[in-house]
């Protein structure tokens, strides 16, 4: 990515975990563990296994319905809270009417923590952007009072970032977006890099195309793509490990999700190889320009009527 990114983000290896330093100085693990669609019944075990395998960043959200179990998994792991980075997100039903603080407090309560390491706006609401601004203002206040260590956004386009930065004081530390070899989201990566925002990849190994299949070109399983399987054979690694290495080698954060213990272990075993520049470029070239998830421009409380229950 742009050299500005390299200048503004120091990458360092610590105990096998590459960390990336955010624009406010907080160093977080580049590789995290995702729990979207992990049922509450599966979450405690998945998080406990993940922490046992060495993951130190867990990505959840109020809308995932499993924050309680994420907190329980962290507590049952035996690893101290201050060694774990907890990332969560405010859902859009809590943006307007002063509800953001209620939503934030409910996340803390469900997680059973007194601070969150990284806290994001889950989505922009482009047609009701004043609500997005109001919610982000709450994040700024939580950052100032120490209940959050870094704040950011998710699913923001370059235009959404411009509109946000026009009205707020703190540049987001993170922008979490759909990003895998079939959708490299290059314009967002470029905007993030220019602004000093860490791009964090959701569906990093292309999961969206497996749980939301499409007939559109590029809608297949990226883990079966010959470029990826060829590199996996070359390095004696699995296709998922090659794709995760592609993220890390380009300075991104990636959040693979799994409820399968062997895959949880596999996905964190990516710190013993790197890809060559031409191999990174070959994976970049798989981009179809087509996202598998929803278009962020169309997100709002009408198109996504789900509301988080904060009672």
For 29, 36, 243, 310, the CA distances from 10, given in Å and listed in that order, are 12, 28, 22, 37
Nearest approach in angstroms of CB 242 to ligand NAP is 10
207 binds ligand NAP (CB under 6 A): yes
**Residue whose tokens read 């309560």:** 109
Nearest approach in angstroms of CB 225 to ligand NAP is 13
Q: Which stretch binds ligand NAP (CB under 6 A): 77-85, 135-143, 260-268, 282-290?
A: 260-268
Closer residue to ligand NAP, CB minimum distance, 6 or 306: 306
292 binds ligand NAP (CB under 6 A): no
Task: Report DSSP state, residue 243.
Answer: H
Q: Are 61 and 36 in contact (CB under 8 A)?
A: yes
208 binds ligand NAP (CB under 6 A): yes
Nearest approach in angstroms of CB 182 to ligand NAP is 11
Q: Which stretch binds ligand NAP (CB under 6 A): 76-84, 162-170, 188-196, 249-257?
A: 249-257
| CB-based contacts of 220, cutoff 8 Å, min separation 6 | 182, 209
73 binds ligand NAP (CB under 6 A): no
Catalytic one of 64, 119, 136, 182: 64
36 binds ligand NAP (CB under 6 A): yes
- What φ, ψ does residue 88 adopt, rounded to 5°? -140, 175
- Kindly calculate the radius of gyration of the chain based on its CA atoms and give it in whole angstroms: 18
Q: Of these, 29, 126, 204, 251, which contacts ligand NAP (CB under 6 A)?
A: 204
Distance separating alpha carbons of residues 225 and 247, to the nearest angstrom: 16
DSSP conformation letters of 56-80: -EEE--GGGT-HHHHHHHHHHH-S-
Q: Which residue is nearest to ligand NAP (CB)?
A: 207
Q: Are 26 and 150 in contact (CB under 8 A)?
A: yes
Nearest approach in angstroms of CB 74 to ligand NAP is 15
Number of Cβ atoms within 10 Å of the Cβ of 224: 10
Closer residue to ligand NAP, CB minimum distance, 223 or 286: 223
Q: Which stretch binds ligand NAP (CB under 6 A): 20-28, 98-106, 167-175, 250-258?
A: 250-258
Distance separating alpha carbons of residues 118 and 135, to the nearest angstrom: 15
Exposure on the CB side of residue 35, measured as CA atoms within 13 A: 35
Q: Are 87 and 36 in contact (CB under 8 A)?
A: no
Residues 154-193 that bind ligand NAP (CB under 6 A): 154-155, 176
228 binds ligand NAP (CB under 6 A): no
**Residue whose tokens read 């200048």:** 7
240 binds ligand NAP (CB under 6 A): yes
| Residue 64 known to be catalytic | yes
248 binds ligand NAP (CB under 6 A): no
93 binds ligand NAP (CB under 6 A): no
The SS3 call for residue 230 is helix
Nearest approach in angstroms of CB 124 to ligand NAP is 11
Nearest approach in angstroms of CB 295 to ligand NAP is 12
Task: Report DSSP state, residue 88.
Answer: E
Residues that bind ligand NAP (CB under 6 A): 34-36, 59, 122, 154-155, 176, 202-208, 210-211, 223, 238, 240, 255-260, 263, 266-267
Any idea which residues carry the catalytic annotation? 64
């Amino acid at each position: 990515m742009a050299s500005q990114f390299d200048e503004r983000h120091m990458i360092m290896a610590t105990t096998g975990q590459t960390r990336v330093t955010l624009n406010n100085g907080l160093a977080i693990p580049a590789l995290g563990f995702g729990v979207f669609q992990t049922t509450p019944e599966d979450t405690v075990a998945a998080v406990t296994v993940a922490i046992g395998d060495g993951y130190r960043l867990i990505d959840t959200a109020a809308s995932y319905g499993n924050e309680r179990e994420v907190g329980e998994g962290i507590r049952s792991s035996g690893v101290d809270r201050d060694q774990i980075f907890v990332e969560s997100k405010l859902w859009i039903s809590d943006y307007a009417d002063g509800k953001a603080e209620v939503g934030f407090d409910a996340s803390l309560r469900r997680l059973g923590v007194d601070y969150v390491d990284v806290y994001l706006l889950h989505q922009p609401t482009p047609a009701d952007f004043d609500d997005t601004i109001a919610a982000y203002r709450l994040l700024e206040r939580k950052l100032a009072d120490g209940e959050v260590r870094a704040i950011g956004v998710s699913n923001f386009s370059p235009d959404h970032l411009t509109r946000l930065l026009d009205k707020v004081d703190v540049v987001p530390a993170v922008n979490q977006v759909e990003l895998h070899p079939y959708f490299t989201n290059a314009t967002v990566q470029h905007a993030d890099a220019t602004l000093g925002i860490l791009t964090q990849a959701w569906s990093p190994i292309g999961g969206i195309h497996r749980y939301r299949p499409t007939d559109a070109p590029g809608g297949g399983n990226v883990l079966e793509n010959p470029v990826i399987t060829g590199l996996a054979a070359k390095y004696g690694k699995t296709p998922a490990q090659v794709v995760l290495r592609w993220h890390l080698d380009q300075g991104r954060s990636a959040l693979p999700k799994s409820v399968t213990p062997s895959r949880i272990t596999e996905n964190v075993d990516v710190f013993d190889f790197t890809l060559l520049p031409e191999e990174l470029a070959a994976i970049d070239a798989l981009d179809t320009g087509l996202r598998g998830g929803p278009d962020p421009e169309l997100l709002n409380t009408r198109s996504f009527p789900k509301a988080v229950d904060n009672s």
